[in-house]
Structures are given as structure tokens and as C-alpha cells.
């Protein structure tokens, strides 16, 4: 076990020389600014409820969206050109997709209110606090319940359920039900009955 460093009041990090490495936002500054103001007016505000126009704007800025996507008010999306969603996926109110890296969300997935996608972190071992982006992938038929957090690099596989308020720091297996801080497996989701006669 490494020896603990001596106590000090001096900062081990020097943010004056912060370094993003080879990271780029993926679009020019004018496009980023245009998206910033479009987002403020049509997405982050609560007065514009029309999901159809919002999905058209997202596609205009490079998002790859399937059919029937629903986007509620007060949603923040960092970079739409790094967002992909399948058919009939719902994005709830106050969701924050902080996608400095790619976020891929499958079809028929429910992202409930206040969910946070955190695709970036920093190297705490470095004095320069380098940015470390990593994508997030969410499969088909997933339910991300209210106020859960997904960290950079995680994958939530098809038909999984993440309980409200959970903190997802590692991959979630197909059809698993997870919850807690950090999220752990609570059970296994069962396929719903079709209701058809045998």
C-alpha cells in the first residue's frame, strides 16, 4: 500500500494550466454559439412544450434520432451532434445530457425527470487536471428513473431499470434492476406478459 503523502495546505492541482488534451467540441465556435442560444430558447426554458419542433431542431444540429422521440421542457443537451436516440424514446423534464462525448440511447427507453449523463471527468493524479471524456450507452427498453446519474464510460444494457436517485459508476447488465449510491444489483426484471391466451 502506498505511503500517505505528508499533509500540506498547498494545492496539488494548478488550474491555471488546465489542459483538455486533444479534445475538441466537434463543431465550429459559431455553430456552438448558435446551438447555445437555440437551446436556451427552445429546450432549457419551460415555455416551449412542442416536442416535434425540438426533435427537428436537434436533427438540424446533427443529432441522429429515430421516430416518435419525445423531449419535455427544461432539457439541457450539451452537443446535439454527439447524441443518438432510437425510436419512441422519452426524455423527461430537467434531464441534462452533458455529452462532451457520445451519448447513445436505444429505442423505447424512458429517461425520467432530472437524469444526468456525465460523459466527462478529470485526471485527479495530474497537476494539470486533464479532461477525460468517455461515451455513455443506454440500450433498448431501459428505464432510467428520476434523478439518477450515469458516469462517463458506463453502458446500461437492454431492458435494465435504474432506480430513482441512483449513481451508476459501472456497467449494468441486461434486464438488471439496480439502485443505490453506488448502484448495485437489486433484482432481475421479468419480461411482461403479452396478455394473449395460451
**Grid coordinates of 89:** 424514446
Q: How far apart are CA 105 and CA 162, in angstroms?
A: 14
For residue 156, the model assigns a pLDDT of: 98
Start-to-end C-alpha separation, the chain = 61
User: Which backbone phi and psi does 189 adopt, to 5 degrees?
Assistant: -75, 140
The angle subtended at Cα 75 by Cα 179 and Cα 152, nearest 5°, is: 45
Phi-psi region of 158 (alpha: psi -120 to 50; beta: other; left: phi over 0): beta
Rg (CA), the chain: 19
Checking 6-10 for CB contacts under 8 A at 24+ apart, the result is none
Strand order in the sheet with 64-65: 64-65, 83-85, 103-105, 136-138, 155-156
Residue in 88, 75, 84, 72 with CA at minimum distance from that of residue 135: 84
pLDDT (0 to 100) of residue 33:
97
Biggest alpha carbon–alpha carbon distance for the chain: 71
Q: Which parts of the chain register pLDDT below 50?
A: 198
Which residue, 36, 49, 20, is CA-closest to 123? Answer: 20
48 cis-preceded (ω within 30 degrees of 0): no
Look at residue 198 in the predicted model and tell me its pLDDT: 45
Residues 162, 123, 106, 94: is their CA dihedral positive or negative? Answer: positive
Task: Return the C-alpha cell found at 122.
Answer: 478529470
| 111-136 pLDDT per residue, tens | 999 999 999 988 888 888 888 899 99
Query: What single-letter DSSP state applies at residue 14?
Result: -
The alpha helices in 4-157, defined as continuous H runs, are 29-38, 51-60
Amino acid at each position: 500500500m502506498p505511503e500517505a503523502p505528508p499533509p500540506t495546505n498547498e494545492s496539488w492541482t494548478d488550474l491555471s494550466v488546465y489542459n483538455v488534451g486533444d479534445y475538441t467540441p466537434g463543431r465550429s465556435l459559431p455553430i456552438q454559439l448558435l446551438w447555445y442560444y437555440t437551446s436556451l430558447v427552445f429546450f432549457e426554458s419551460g415555455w416551449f412544450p412542442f416536442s416535434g419542433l425540438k426533435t427537428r431542431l436537434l436533427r438540424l444540429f446533427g443529432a441522429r434520432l429515430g421516430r416518435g422521440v419525445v423531449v419535455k421542457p427544461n432539457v439541457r443537451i450539451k452537443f446535439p451532434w454527439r447524441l443518438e436516440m432510437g425510436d419512441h424514446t422519452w426524455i423527461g423534464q430537467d434531464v441534462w445530457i452533458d455529452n462532451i462525448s457520445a451519448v447513445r440511447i436505444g429505442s423505447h427507453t424512458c429517461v425520467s425527470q432530472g437524469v444526468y449523463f456525465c460523459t466527462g471527468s478529470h485526471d485527479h493524479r495530474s497537476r494539470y487536471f486533464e479532461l477525460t471524456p468517455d461515451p455513455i450507452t443506454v440500450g433498448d427498453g431501459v428505464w432510467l428513473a428520476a434523478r439518477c446519474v450515469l458516469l462517463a464510460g458506463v453502458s446500461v444494457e437492454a431492458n435494465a431499470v435504474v432506480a430513482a436517485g441512483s449513481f451508476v459508476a459501472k456497467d449494468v447488465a441486461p434486464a438488471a434492476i439496480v439502485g443505490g449510491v453506488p448502484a448495485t444489483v437489486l433484482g432481475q426484471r421479468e419480461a411482461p406478459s403479452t396478455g394473449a391466451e395460451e
